Structure 1
Amino acid sequence: MENTLNENVCLTHEAMSVVISPKLGGTILSFQSLDQNGERIDWLRAAQANEQREPKAFQTGCFPLFPFSNRIADDRLLFEQQEYPLLSNLPGSFMIHGHSWMGAWRVTEQSASSLSIVFDMPHQDVASHGWPFSYLAEQRFELSEQGLKVTLKLTNTSTQTMPAGMGLHPYFNWLDGMQVTAKCQGMWLGSEKNIPEQEDFSHQAIAALAQGELLKGLDNNFTQWDGLARIEWPDSKACMTIKASDMFRHLVVYSPEGEDHFCLEPVSHVTNAFNHPEWSDAQGGMQILSPNETIQGDIRFLVK
């Protein structure tokens, strides 16, 4: 039975809880647990309440990326020899992160520790911004003693083939002394508008990240990620392992100067891949879905 009221949903399992907002773009508002001393651990950044900052989904702990990750350059999609003009969905940016963070999701299944929600495009409250294809996005959240598993699924409901991609955009707390480890083979260097231009295999950020050091000032696509990332916060002795299925073999790393958060975003393709059909999977190329075809993968946030 579908719930169209879109209230926040709190999932619990033992000392862990996760709060999800179907109404606010299918976002995660918090993911927490209690340690042996009863102290709270925030595994994701808790949702912010800054009324001066927009959009609201970007102030949460995590938001979904459907039907693509990051930006499409110049608000122009060239696919199968057809050009589609797009409209920006964020002031000062090209069209970014698709539509699913912009509107309400519908609850299709719910239990004490799990939740399934869906988002349709066309959507009654979200403009297409020129996107010419229809699709169905699905998220399933499952909380267990190991942590949180999020399964993402994207189906092309159009009558024509569609470029496709998906991912998650989680925010983590930046704390002194933390270690962030991930192994990737390459990193795209981008333009002033964060559009990839050249892949670099020797950038210092690649080696640093492999050794547990996350550099400040990054907003880059890392390629050929092995699907594992580890975050350690020594002060609280908390440790999270991110484990992504083979669908997600690229990682957007965002570590802005002067902020108290960072992002590790498992994605199926790199920024603007839809305009580069020549890019290989290793470079972060796109997926293409025939009508009624589906891609699916999961991302696990394993905690201890």
Structure 2
Amino acid sequence: MKGNTLTLENAHLRVRVDPQGGALLSCFSLQHQQPVLREGRGEKPGDCALFPMLPVANRVAGNRFNLREQEVTLPRHQADDTFFLHGDGWLKRWEVAARGRDSCSLRLRSQHPCGYNYLAVLDYLLDGAALKASVTITHLGERPMLYGCGFHPFFAFNARSTAQFQASGYWPEGEQHLPLAWQRTIPPQADFSSAQYGQDAWLNVGYSGWSGRAVVQHDVMRVTLFAQTPWLMLFRMPGESFLCLEPQTHPVNAHNLPGQPGLRLLAKNECCRFALQIRVDKG
């Protein structure tokens, strides 16, 4: 697997791209000689620095939802016993469509009996001190289908790091990692409106009203995440040196929320696109 990875590099950053899962295995700041994202080995799904989530981000309650008065039952896969977790893009091998010294383009064709039938294009680009990633999904099925997507980066994060971002409220975690009722008041351990390290403890929550900007501060390096969406997931595990800040087009379980917020109903040949930028500056 490692022999098939692509290395993208410029004067500021070096990243390794794995066509398996369309993932990044690393993102390293050459100027600061520090990892921007954690380093993964790619030995199993999710063992990486970043992966795309499509055509579903996170989980859908019951692994099913209603679309135009018909029930859609999502498939399952080897990465989760209950859910079509994060969709299938992070589990499949992507075709390398184009590559250069500082950019590459990957393609994935996927189809499921539930109605997902799509072509995805995943682009990675190093633009100065910024990593830019985007995914474009084109629906190819005869029947319209509901799409969502996002990115799941693992930011390097230790006891000397802080994170900061603004949000209007959050969804606490409930059973099966699904969200409980939305709350306006965010508890201290999940409130990053002021820069903090937080607690070295499990945290898996979603935010609404996100400003589209989050900052991870290290001693000599500042890492800023940008994405045009009001929804952000945060995930951390005790004893691990990473913090996941996951921008996605919709909140968790949007498929079963009133109005299905953030999801896109695509007819044949219609497409949707989502992008993020991770910029590295001096601390």
Q: What TM-score comes out, normalization by structure 2 length?
A: 0.91
Where does residue 231 of structure 1 map in the other structure?
216
User: Does the 8 A contact of 2:29 with 2:280 survive in 1?
Assistant: no
Where does residue 56 of structure 2 map in the other structure?
68
Partner SS for 1:136: strand
Partner SS for 1:193: helix
How far residue 206 of structure 1 moved from its aligned partner, in angstroms, is 8.5
Where does residue 252 of structure 1 map in the other structure?
233
Residue 265 in 1 paired to residue 261 in 2?
no
Where does residue 29 of structure 2 map in the other structure?
33
Where does residue 110 of structure 2 map in the other structure?
121
**Cα distance in 2 between the residues matched to 1:146 and 1:259:** 26
The percentage of counterpart residues that share the same residue type is: 26
Residue 193 of structure 2 is aligned with which of 204, 210, 214? 210
**Cα distance in 2 between the residues matched to 1:86 and 1:200:** 28
How far residue 67 of structure 1 moved from its aligned partner, in angstroms, is 0.5
- 2:245 alignment partner AA: L
User: Does the 8 A contact of 1:187 with 1:206 survive in 2?
Assistant: no
**Cα distance in 2 between the residues matched to 1:277 and 1:288:** 15
Residue 105 in 1 paired to residue 98 in 2?
no
Where does residue 271 of structure 2 map in the other structure?
294
Where does residue 154 of structure 1 map in the other structure?
137
Q: Which runs of 5+ in 2 are unaligned?
A: none
**Cα distance in 2 between the residues matched to 1:295 and 1:91:** 26
Q: What TM-score comes out, normalization by structure 1 length?
A: 0.85
Structure 1 residues 208, 75: closer, same or farther in 2, change over 3 A? closer
Residue 169 in 1 paired to residue 130 in 2?
no
Where does residue 83 of structure 1 map in the other structure?
71
**Cα distance in 1 between the residues matched to 2:91 and 2:128:** 31
Q: Which runs of 5+ in 1 are unaligned?
A: 1-5, 123-127
Structure 1 residues 64, 207: closer, same or farther in 2, change over 3 A? closer
- 2:51 alignment partner AA: F
Partner SS for 2:154: strand
Where does residue 38 of structure 2 map in the other structure?
45
Partner SS for 1:74: helix
CA RMSD of aligned residues (A): 2.0
How far residue 270 of structure 1 moved from its aligned partner, in angstroms, is 1.1
Where does residue 3 of structure 1 map in the other structure?
none
Divergent runs of 4+, >3 A: none
**Cα distance in 1 between the residues matched to 2:258 and 2:38:** 35
Residue 181 of structure 1 is aligned with which of 150, 160, 164? 164
Where does residue 16 of structure 1 map in the other structure?
13
Partner SS for 2:125: strand
